[in-house]
Amino acid sequence: MTDPLKLAIAGLGTVGVGTLELLAKQDGLLTERCGRPLRVTAVSARDRTRDRGVDLSAFQWFDDAAEMAAKADADVVVELIGGSDGKAKEATEAALAAGRHVVTANKALIALHGTALAAAAEDAGVTLAYEAAVAGAIPIIRAMREGLSGNRISRLHGILNGTCNYILTTMRETGRSFDDVLAEAQELGFAEADPSFDIDGVDTAHKLAILASLAFGSKVDFDGVHVEGIRHITAEDIVHAEELGYRIKLLGTAEVTDEGLQQRVHPAMVPLGAPIASVEGVLNAVESESDFAGTTMLEGRGAGAGPTASAVVGDIVDIACERRTPTFGVPVSRLSEIASAPMERHVGPYYVRLMVYDKPGVFADVAAILRDHEISMEAVIQRARSATEAVPVVLTTHETRESSMMGAVDAIALLDAVHERPCVIRIERP
C-alpha cells in the first residue's frame, strides 16, 4: 500500500473537531478512495487542556500553529483557525514556505490574501485548497473552477450566509422582529455572540470576492465589494415584499459590466418564482449564468461541523489522489485586474418604504423629488392612516440609476412629514 498522507490540523474548534471525527469514521472509505491512508500526525490549538470530546493522545501537540506548519511530520497543513491575519496567516505562509500543501476553510484569509498565497503555493509547487471557505458542503469551488471551465460566466449570485437566511426566513414565517429572531438564532447556535460579520454582510462579501475571482479569472478584490447587511429589514418589509410578488434575501452578486467588475452584497427582493427564492433556513445556494451551460444552481448546507468538514476532507482527498488545478483556475500570472464598477452606476428597480405623517401635500413632495431625479414610480401601497403617528408608504420604481435613487432618498429624508430615513431595497429580476 502507498505511504499514508500525513496531516497536521491547526485549530480544534467546531470544524477542526468535525474534521477529526469525519476522518476517523470514514477511515476505510477514504483509504479506498485515495488508494492510501489519511493519517493525522499533529494538531495545534490555543488551549491544550480543553475537553473537545475527541482523543488527541495519538497526535503530536504544538502550542504554536506556525511552528507546527513548519516542523510537524506532515504533508498537508489543514488551517482551521479562522481570521484574515494572525496565526492563520502565519501558519499558512509557514506551511507553503516549507513545501507543504494547505487546505483551509478560511474565507477571510483567501478573500484578503488569496492572490499572494496562491503565488506562494505555485512557487513551492504545492496545492492551496479552500473548498470549505465558500458555502460549506456545496462543491461550488470545484464547479466554478473545473465543471464550468468550458464556459464564460457572465453573472453569479447567491445566498452565502446561513445566519442571515435563517433570520429572514423566520421573520417571514413568524412575523417577528429582526432583533427577536437574531436573539433566537444566537440561542440556537446559528449566530455568533457578536453576529456583525454575518448580519452586516462581511462574511458574504468574503465569499463573493473568492467566487468572482474564479468566475472571471481576476485577482481577488475584496476591497471592490459593495457591502450592506440586513439590520434595517423589518417584518413589514417582508410582508410588503410578498404582496408585491417578491422574497427578501441577502444576496452576493458579481458580474462584469461595461463599467467593470460589479461585486455587491445587499438585501434584495427576488421574484417568488425564482429558484433562489425558495432557498430557506440555514441553506446556501449559488446560481451562475454561462454561455454553454446556461443557468445552474447548487444548493445545500453552508455551515456547521459536518458540511464544512466534508468540504475540507474533499480537498484532502484531491491532494492524496494528486489531482491538482491552479488555485483560482489559472496561474496567478494570468489573473487579470478588472476595474471595480462604481456602485453608484448600478441600474435597477427599487423598493422604498417611507414612514410618513399623513399631512396634506406629502405625496406631492415625494413625487416631485422623484421627478427631479428622473425616477418613475411603478406601484404605491398605503393602507394604514393616522393623524398622529407615522405610517408606512411603500413604492416601487422602474429601473433607475443608483446615484439617482440615493439622491432622491437623501432629499425625501429631509421632508418634515418623513419620520425616518427611508428603507431602500434593490429589486433583482431575471
What pTM was computed for the model? 0.94
- 14 with 121, same domain? yes
- CATH code for the domain in which residue 226 is found: 3.30.360.10
The percentage of residues in the chain with a pLDDT greater than 90, rounded to a whole number, is 86
Query: How many domains are contained in the chain?
Result: 3
- 106 with 39, same domain? yes
Domain-embedded: residue 325: no
Domain-embedded: residue 37: yes
Mean pLDDT of the chain: 94
Domain-embedded: residue 330: no
Q: What is the pLDDT of residues 8-46, one digit of tens each?
A: 999 999 999 999 999 999 999 999 999 999 999 999 999
Q: Please, are residues 254 and 263 in contact by the beta-carbon 8 Å criterion?
A: yes
- 30 with 55, same domain? yes
**What does the angle CA 151 – CA 157 – CA 162 come to, to the nearest 5 degrees?**
130
Domain-embedded: residue 123: yes
- 85 with 232, same domain? no
Provide the CA 61 distance to its chain's centre, in angstroms. Answer: 33
- Domain endpoint, select from 78, 111, 133: 133
- 155 with 123, same domain? no
Q: Which pLDDT score is estimated for 389? A: 80
- Annotated catalytic residue, options 87, 89, 207, 219: 207
Q: Please, are residues 90 and 55 in contact by the beta-carbon 8 Å criterion?
A: no
The alpha-helical segments, DSSP class H, found in 192-285 are 196-199, 202-216, 235-244
- Beta partners for residue 255, in sequence order: 155, 262
Q: What is the pLDDT of residues 207-252, one digit of tens each?
A: 999 999 999 999 999 999 999 999 999 999 999 999 999 999 999 9
- CATH code for the domain in which residue 96 is found: 3.40.50.720
- 282 with 186, same domain? yes
- 359 with 399, same domain? yes
Domain-embedded: residue 331: no
- CATH code for the domain in which residue 392 is found: 3.30.70.260
- 278 with 404, same domain? no
| Residue 278 per-residue DSSP state | G
- 33 with 121, same domain? yes
Q: What is the pLDDT of residues 254-292, one digit of tens each?
A: 999 998 999 999 999 999 999 999 999 999 999 999 999
Q: Which pLDDT score is estimated for 387? A: 60
Q: Enumerate residues 6+ apart whose C-beta is below 8 A from 319.
A: 5, 75, 76, 101, 103, 127, 129
The percentage of residues in the chain with a pLDDT greater than 70, rounded to a whole number, is 98
- Exposed/middle/buried for residue 176 (C-beta within 10 Å: 0-12, 13-18, 19+): middle
Phi, psi values for residue 269, rounded to 5°: -95, 120
- 126 with 175, same domain? no
Domain-embedded: residue 333: no
Domain-embedded: residue 151: yes
Q: Please, are residues 157 and 252 in contact by the beta-carbon 8 Å criterion?
A: yes
Q: What is the pLDDT of residues 38-85, one digit of tens each?
A: 999 999 999 888 888 898 989 999 999 999 999 999 999 999 999 999
- 74 with 175, same domain? no
How does residue 314 score in pLDDT terms, banded at 50, 70 and 90?
A: very high
- 124 with 152, same domain? no
Q: What is the pLDDT of residues 326-337, one digit of tens each?
A: 999 999 999 999
Domain-embedded: residue 243: yes
Q: 411 is in which domain, residue-wise?
A: 346-427
Span of 32-41, 95-104, 221-230, 383-392 with lowest mean pLDDT: 383-392
Active site (annotated) includes residue 219: no
Q: Please, are residues 319 and 76 in contact by the beta-carbon 8 Å criterion?
A: yes
- Beta partners for residue 400, in sequence order: 348
Amino acid at 66: A
